[in-house]
């Protein structure tokens, strides 16, 4: 079958293309901008790429067109497809019907931590010999790729194999405004957390909770729902109705821990060492290179999910001790004897807060500089601006980038910060300010400096320019 993908260079659609190719299909696709790293992955997979949306690429007609959710009415290929009655579907629907329907699906949903938790879970299952397939909205450094089919059969499950999928609440396509995750036929579902996000498609938190309720309704009665006991927004989703088995977890010593079956305990304040205890009282320790309470929560959820398919607590924790991490999730992109630079995907005030606090807990009184581009759709709309000032409170200073898409008063956010903060409206200025700030910090206190760059986009090449400048 010839499958043509509209909007192929996004992480989800590009990963989908590679899975379709692994299934033996002829795959081609187009996008507005065809550029690395996804274009390189696709070309290495033997997938034909076309830049732009000239409808002549649909002549002769492919057997099926998979339409990315960035495509809208008015797009030349979309209009040609509809006018000529060509067969089409959404990416999530194709994934659900052609790969996930016959698999045991372990889905990871939530506002924060989906990519990291999915990667942890895939690593745990892989280390246990289950050879899972996966589709993750990032690149797990343990695998070096964002998607694979995995082993065809899962012993004892009655299904073709295990599959870990990052279950996004964003809409499926211009013709299907349901969240992607309702298509995924989930068996084990992690719900990490739930906050208001995606202000471009959801009016309020209740609208997102409704989609999560629809997801919960798709689980079988012998399936599992896993979530932190303290997450009241998720509890409200469960209270709307749940017909599957529930596993919750909490921190040792919390009031909830007496009622919650799974518990965790920090053995190091920065989250680099912690213990997980199952409902039967068995315990195991994770001692790893990562930090932050948010990563501990991600890890506990992944361990519980792995347990639903027979992976022991000890084996899961042993695998996490070796977990490398995810590209662009506190990824170290530069280090010398005085400075470390991290690339992080933080897209929401809570994600910024947990990232900076986790780094602070890890490095103690060493200098922390937070550089933030408010780039997600919700932040560009200014819907989270009231929470942004406090998000960098654990840093020593902050630099905010006011890109062309931010048309609200970012200076008011900087002025309200409890630490010194500056707004820059072009990349050259931001680079100069960063280098000057780091120079002053190093000269002033002599302590090691940590620069964390937070953006869910390319940041106009700022990462690369900063690293090049530091090398000089």
Q: Do domains 2-86 and 94-321 have the same CATH topology?
A: no
pLDDT band for position 288 (cuts 50, 70, 90): very high
The answer to whether residues 85 and 25 touch, using CB atoms and an 8 Å cutoff, is no
DSSP 403-429: -TT--S-HHHHHHH-SS-EEEESSHHH
pLDDT at 141: 87
pLDDT at 385: 65
At which residue do the structure tokens 């994770």 appear? 286
Strand partners, 276: 264, 284
| pLDDT over 90 at 265, yes or no | yes
Q: Which of 144, 180, 201 is nearest to 327 (CA)?
A: 144
Pairing of strands 88-90, 64-67: parallel
pLDDT at 362: 86
Question: Which residues in 315-341 are b (16+ Cβ under 10 Å) and which e?
Answer: bbbbbbeebbbbbbbbbebbeeeebbb
pLDDT band for position 38 (cuts 50, 70, 90): confident
pLDDT at 384: 60
Mean pLDDT of the chain: 89
pLDDT at 308: 97
pLDDT at 410: 84
Strand partners, 339: 449
pLDDT at 8: 95
Three-state DSSP state, 64: strand
What digits encode the pLDDT tens for the residues 340-390? 999 988 767 888 888 898 889 888 999 999 999 887 555 545 556 667 888
pLDDT at 367: 92
What digits encode the pLDDT tens for the residues 342-355? 998 876 788 888 88
What digits encode the pLDDT tens for the residues 391-415? 899 999 999 998 887 877 888 888 9
Does this model's pTM top 0.75? My answer is yes
| pLDDT over 70 at 152, yes or no | yes
In CATH terms, the superfamily for domain 94-321 is Mur-like, catalytic domain (3.40.1190.10)
pLDDT band for position 454 (cuts 50, 70, 90): confident
| pLDDT over 90 at 470, yes or no | no
pLDDT at 67: 98
pLDDT at 160: 80
pLDDT band for position 242 (cuts 50, 70, 90): very high
Q: Which is higher by pLDDT, 39 or 98?
A: 98
pLDDT band for position 329 (cuts 50, 70, 90): confident
At which residue do the structure tokens 């290179």 appear? 289
DSSP state letter for 97: I
Q: Where are the domains of the chain?
A: 2-86, 94-321, 331-471
Q: Write the class of the CATH domain 2-86.
A: alpha beta
pLDDT at 386: 67
At which residue do the structure tokens 């390189």 appear? 40
Q: State whether CATH 3.90.190.20 applies to domain 331-471.
A: yes
| Structure-block tokens of residue 243 | 């017909």
Whole-number Å distance between alpha carbons of 11 and 463: 20
DSSP 190-239: EE-------TTT-SSHHHHHHHHHHHHHTS-TT-EEEEETT-HHHHHHHH
The answer to whether residues 335 and 363 touch, using CB atoms and an 8 Å cutoff, is no
Q: Which of 287, 291, 283, 289 is nearest to 264 (CA)?
A: 283
């Amino acid at each position: 079958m010839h499958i043509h993908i509209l909007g192929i260079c996004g992480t989800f659609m590009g990963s989908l293309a590679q899975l379709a190719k692994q299934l033996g299909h002829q795959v081609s696709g187009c996008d507005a901008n065809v550029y690395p790293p996804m274009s390189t992955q696709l070309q290495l997979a033997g997938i034909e790429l076309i830049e732009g949306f000239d409808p002549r690429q649909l002549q002769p007609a492919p057997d099926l067109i998979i339409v990315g959710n960035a495509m809208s009415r008015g797009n030349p290929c979309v209009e040609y497809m509809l006018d000529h009655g060509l067969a089409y579907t959404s990416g999530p629907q194709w994934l659900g019907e052609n790969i996930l329907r016959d698999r045991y699906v372990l889905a990871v949903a939530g506002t924060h931590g989906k990519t990291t938790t999915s990667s942890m879970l895939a690593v745990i299952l892989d280390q246990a010999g289950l050879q899972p397939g996966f589709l993750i909205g990032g690149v797990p450094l343990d695998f070096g790729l964002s998607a694979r089919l995995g082993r065809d059969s899962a012993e004892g499950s009655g299904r073709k194999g295990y599959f870990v999928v990052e279950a996004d609440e964003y809409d499926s396509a211009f013709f299907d405004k349901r969240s992607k995750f309702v298509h995924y036929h989930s068996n084990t579902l992690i719900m990490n957390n739930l906050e208001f996000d995606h202000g471009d498609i959801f009016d309020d938190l209740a609208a997102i909770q409704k989609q999560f309720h629809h997801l919960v309704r798709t689980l079988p009665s012998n399936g599992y729902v896993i979530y932190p006991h303290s997450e009241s927004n998720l509890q409200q989703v469960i209270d709307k109705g749940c017909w599957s088995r529930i596993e919750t977890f909490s921190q040792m010593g919390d009031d909830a821990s007496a009622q919650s079956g799974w518990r965790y305990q920090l053995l190091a304040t920065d989250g680099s060492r912690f213990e997980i205890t199952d409902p039967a009282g068995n315990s195991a320790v994770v001692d790893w290179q990562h930090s932050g309470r948010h990563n501990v929560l991600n890890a506990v959820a992944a361990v519980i999910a792995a347990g639903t398919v027979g992976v022991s607590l000890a084996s899961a924790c042993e695998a996490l001790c070796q977990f490398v991490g995810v590209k662009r999730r506190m990824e170290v992109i530069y280090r010398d004897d005085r400075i470390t630079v991290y690339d992080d995907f933080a897209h929401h005030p809570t994600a910024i807060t947990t990232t900076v606090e986790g780094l602070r807990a890890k490095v103690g009184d060493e200098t922390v500089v937070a550089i933030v581009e408010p780039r997600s759709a919700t932040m560009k709309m200014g819907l989270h601006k009231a929470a942004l000032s406090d998000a960098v409170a654990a840093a020593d200073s902050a630099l905010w980038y006011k890109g062309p898409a931010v048309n609200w008063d970012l200076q008011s956010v900087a002025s309200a910060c409890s630490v010194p903060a500056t707004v820059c409206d072009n990349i050259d200025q931001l680079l100069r300010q960063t280098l000057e700030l780091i120079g002053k910090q190093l000269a002033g206190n002599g302590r090691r400096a940590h620069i964390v760059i937070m953006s869910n986009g390319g940041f106009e090449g700022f990462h690369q320019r900063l690293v090049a400048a530091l090398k000089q």
